């Protein structure tokens, strides 16, 4: 079912704690992405990676960090510096940057 | 950088009627225009896409048209059904330059039985 897996589906954290969202793909895609989805605001790009050991900031990177040590994995850390972290986070991958994106099922993060 | 606008933000149609969603883009270098459908609680999925060397593309009840001169493209859904109810996102990118895909803000389509 798409070959891209996000875990967990729901995540709760206390304010001030860092939290890491997992994203794994077995599609052999070079490019991976993290999007944040808020009601009425569409899909906003947080970070993306064109290839292993490379990543670049998207439009709303502040308060987030990523790593791309393996082709299959692109974890996102939501740090305590992110002012409003409660949101729905979507990971995606594509053969190369700019082509059809395959999305994971998303992680809904709630910070209390 | 690229900016994609999308209208309307919400759209309600009677079952069987047609629905049209319009998008404009700012970067004339963009050459790939996908459309994604996101049903409630599910992941976005590609439903149709078009390259800049084509003016129109159809797939059963859905079609996309592209006007490069005016820098706008549209999604047309004919004979709408309740299962077409979803949020639809348009997007634009330059595949040759491996540019990131920029999404529009989305259109929430409701098909009333």
pLDDT of residue A67: 97
Q: Which of B6, B95, B97 has the CB atom closest to A99's CB atom?
A: B95
pLDDT at position B99 is 84
pLDDT of the residue at B110: 98
Spans in chain A with pLDDT lower than 70: 1-2
Name the strand (E) or helix (H) holding A6. Answer: strand A4-7
Per-position pLDDT tens, chain B of length 113: 789 999 999 999 999 999 999 999 999 999 999 999 999 989 999 999 999 888 999 999 999 999 999 999 999 999 999 999 999 999 999 988 888 899 999 999 999 99
- Phi and psi at B82, nearest 5°, equal -55, -35
B9, B36, B94 member nearest A98 (Cβ): B94
| Partner-chain contact B105 A48, CB within 8 Å | no
Residue B96, pLDDT score: 87
CA of A64 vs chain B CAs: smallest distance (Å): 18
pLDDT on residue B54: 86
- Taking CB atoms and an 8 Å cutoff, what residues of chain A touch B106? 40, 42-43
Q: DSSP per residue over A28-95, as a string?
A: --SEEEEEEE-TTS-EEEEEEESSTT--EE-TT-TTEEE--SBTTB--EEE-TT-S---EEEEEEEES
Distance CA A102, CA A94 (A): 6
pLDDT at site A32: 96
d(CA A92, CA B73): 24
CB-CB under 8 Å, B98 with A50: yes
**Separation between Cα atoms, residue B64 and residue B29, nearest integer Å:** 19
Tell me if chain A has a CB within 8 Å of the CB of B46.
yes
Note the pLDDT of residue A111.
92
CB-based burial label for A50 (10 Å; 0-12, 13-18, 19+):
middle
Contact B98 A106 (CB under 8 A): no
**Whose structure tokens read 């820098």?**
B71
CA atoms of B64 and B56, how far apart (whole Å): 6
pLDDT at B87: 96
Name every chain B residue with its beta carbon within 8 A of the beta carbon of A101. 34, 36, 44, 46, 101
Q: Are B66 and B96 in contact (CB under 8 A)?
A: no
Specify the pLDDT at position B108: 96
């Amino acid at each position: 079912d798409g070959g891209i897996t996000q875990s967990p589906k729901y995540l709760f954290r206390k304010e001030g704690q860092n939290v890491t969202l997992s994203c794994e793909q077995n599609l052999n895609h070079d490019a991976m992405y993290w999007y944040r989805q808020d009601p009425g605001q569409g899909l906003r790009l947080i970070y993306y990676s064109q290839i292993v050991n490379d990543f670049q900031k998207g439009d709303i990177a502040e308060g987030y960090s990523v790593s791309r040590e393996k082709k299959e994995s692109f974890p996102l850390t939501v740090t305590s510096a992110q002012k409003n972290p409660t949101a729905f986070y979507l990971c995606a991958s594509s053969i190369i940057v700019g082509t059809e994106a395959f999305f994971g099922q998303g992680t809904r993060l709630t910070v209390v | 950088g690229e900016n994609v606008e999308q209208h309307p933000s919400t759209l309600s149609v009677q079952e069987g009627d047609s629905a049209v969603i319009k998008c404009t883009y700012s970067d004339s270098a963009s050459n790939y225009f996908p459309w994604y459908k996101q049903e409630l609680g599910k992941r976005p999925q590609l439903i149709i896409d078009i390259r800049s060397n084509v003016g129109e593309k159809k797939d059963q009840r859905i079609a996309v048209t592209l006007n490069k001169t005016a820098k706008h493209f549209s999604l047309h859904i004919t004979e709408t059904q309740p299962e077409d109810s979803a949020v639809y996102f348009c997007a634009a990118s330059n595949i040759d330059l491996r540019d990131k895909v920029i999404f529009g803000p989305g259109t929430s389509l409701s098909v009333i039985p």
